[in-house]
Structure 1
């Protein structure tokens, strides 16, 4: 009973204070949206795209710079700097790769397939997070055309952020000594480019009219976290895994790359979840909702569960009715409470059109 009362007091407190209630609501929505699986799907296709593209890069450099191995090594070191673990391994063994048409074709095809998969997985994740009904999402052809357009913009942005990250991390770049001010400015610029890329993805991959000012905060936080992940991965490789290649071999390299990509996907999904919770006012949530049906739902709970039902509508003329019965009586409830439950009243019930989910309060 003491523990139950403590939980009830904390529940009441977090529902009154946004600094606690919002993070809890984000975690709840992340769990209910199966955010871990959404991030894992993005990471899977990310792995399929990164590895072939890295091999493609090495193969192309084998053609273009075959007469200048030193410059070839410098370019590879710079370009792979953002890919801890596997980037270092390919960079150290560049001479074992020889450019040939088959490698270029395989790398291009594999990279394009994986990159389109990343874009499609990101679109699907954002549609689920923003409760976009299935009938309102773009058809498979338009979705892939949109992905190609976004990938073009991302390619340019990633080239820019790659160079800036290299400038921020190395004291010397292509033989030139970099001062502290230059490296600090490069770090800030890299974060700014990442913010722009995230805003670009969130805005064009979301079939909802979401204002940029609502997306800016989460995008900035995600960009800073991603920069930290990049620095942390580079530091770990340089100081903890140095000389460990023979021990861990390919298994450690692949696990390291997948983990690194998954962290990036997780940051992407969590930032979108945070924005969705704040824009749709999906807080405060009732703490017991994830664990039991014996709970009084808050208005935010009802809005969240209604939006989940709306997300699964397949046709624009489909109608969905969402209602919430009183919670089952808990141990110790009186006969009056049980009578209300047995009467089958449905307070909070609402009939909504499939294309028009309930709007959050302003």
Structure 2
């Protein structure tokens, strides 16, 4: 235990180690793997029709300029490398009569609302929003529509910058290497802003933006790396694949890509929540045994989990840690609230 105690003390004293550890512990406490899997599942069901609708709209708007249309479509679909080639061959699916188009639009929106519900559930859980304070089914779907609109605007914005970043010649202008690198950085910053807006729109909690920007930039960099990884997967494993193998490769590759994207999103938000709620440093052995002295960050985390589970506004949840001496405030300030016995009233 001496070596473990020394390691525990070291990570508590050093933010660069204690903060990531606290993020991992909160991720485990919130069942982050399951939250990411839920978002990936609904994303898999809704991504194709939503993107097909968006790409069809772009194709219709830019039909008078085939060159620009091709540049914009290629840049938009590059954000979804595993699915992009399939979409380019199925743009015609949403063309036809007005009734068919309306049915396609409504079906796509209904399917897309599934992933918005999954994202809202994950965000509210990670930010410890009590069940009774979360939006009702109608308001949550209205927020979901706002989220879909936000994604559309974000995709259109990053597509415009991606055209510059991905082509030496776009919009009739020639761009040198330095400008293209700057365009890539612009895409990363736009994606970071989109992450911040997503958390603000879909979370029923007041969140200070200063806690979001740092993790959001890291999450946007991870998203960019994931796009490059998806493009590499398509080039090296899907090109030239047979029909049967190619079908399974697309499905499995898309599921894995969506899951990794959802996992990066959850970790990004968890990092912001740990910063905002000062949920560090955590005790090193907390996930493994009850024979441990909790830090004040541990106590704050466990109180928030209990409060999150309250279903009614008139329901009160208090927490008591038996046999635990009350620690002093952590460095930088701490929660001085006295623990009370667990009860409901």
| TM-score tier after normalising by the smaller chain length | 0.7 to 0.9
1:349 aligns to 2:339 (yes or no): yes
Asked whether the 8 Å contact 1:55–1:107 carries over to 2, the reply is: no
Segment drifting more, 183-192 vs 16-25: 183-192
The range that moved more, 56-65 or 175-184, is 56-65
TM (norm. structure 1) is: 0.81
User: Unpaired segments of 5 or more residues in structure 2?
Assistant: 325-337
Q: Is the 8 A contact 2:52 2:91 kept in 1?
A: no
Q: CA deviation at 1:174?
A: 6.8
1:98 & 1:113 partners in 2: Cα distance? 16
Q: Deviations over 1:194-253 (max 9, x none)?
A: 121111111222222221111111111111211121122223322453323546221111
Q: Distance in 1 between matches of 2:74 and 2:323?
A: 62
Instruction: Tell me the equivalent position of 2:96.
Output: 100
**Greater mean deviation of Cα atoms: 272-281 or 67-76:** 67-76
**Residues 250 and 175 from structure 1, CA distance in 2 versus in 1: closer, same or farther, beyond 3 angstroms?**
farther
| 1:295 alignment partner in structure 2 | 292
Distance 1:81 1:162 in 2: 9
In 2, the alpha carbon distance for the partners of 1:94 and 1:153 equals 24
| Runs (5+) with no aligned partner, structure 1 | 328-347, 355-362
For 1:303 and 1:351, the matched residues in 2 are separated by: 15
Deviations 1:114-172 (A, max 9, x none): 32222222211111111111111121111211222232232111111123224313334
- Which 4+ residue blocks in structure 1 deviate beyond 6 angstroms? 61-72
CA distance in 2, matches of 1:165, 1:63: 20
8 Å contact from structure 1 (residues 40, 265) kept in 2: yes
TM-score with structure 2 setting the length: 0.84
Give 1:94 shift.
4.8
Equivalent residue of 2:111, what SS?
Answer: helix
User: Number of aligned pairs?
Assistant: 331
For the 8 Å contact 2:215–2:271, the answer to whether it is kept is yes
Deviates more, 1:206-215 or 1:54-63: 54-63
Matches within 5 A, 1:169-188: 169-173=166-170, 177-188=174-185
Contact map agreement 1:134 1:315 (CA 8 A) in 2: yes
User: What is the correspondence of 1:1-362 to structure 2 with a 5 Å cutoff?
Assistant: 4-57=1-54, 75-91=72-88, 93-94=89-90, 99-101=95-97, 104-105=101-102, 107-173=104-170, 177-246=174-243, 248-326=245-323, 349-350=339-340
CA distance in 2, matches of 1:98, 1:107: 7
- Give the Cα–Cα distance (whole angstroms) in 2 for the partners of residues 198 and 310 of structure 1: 26
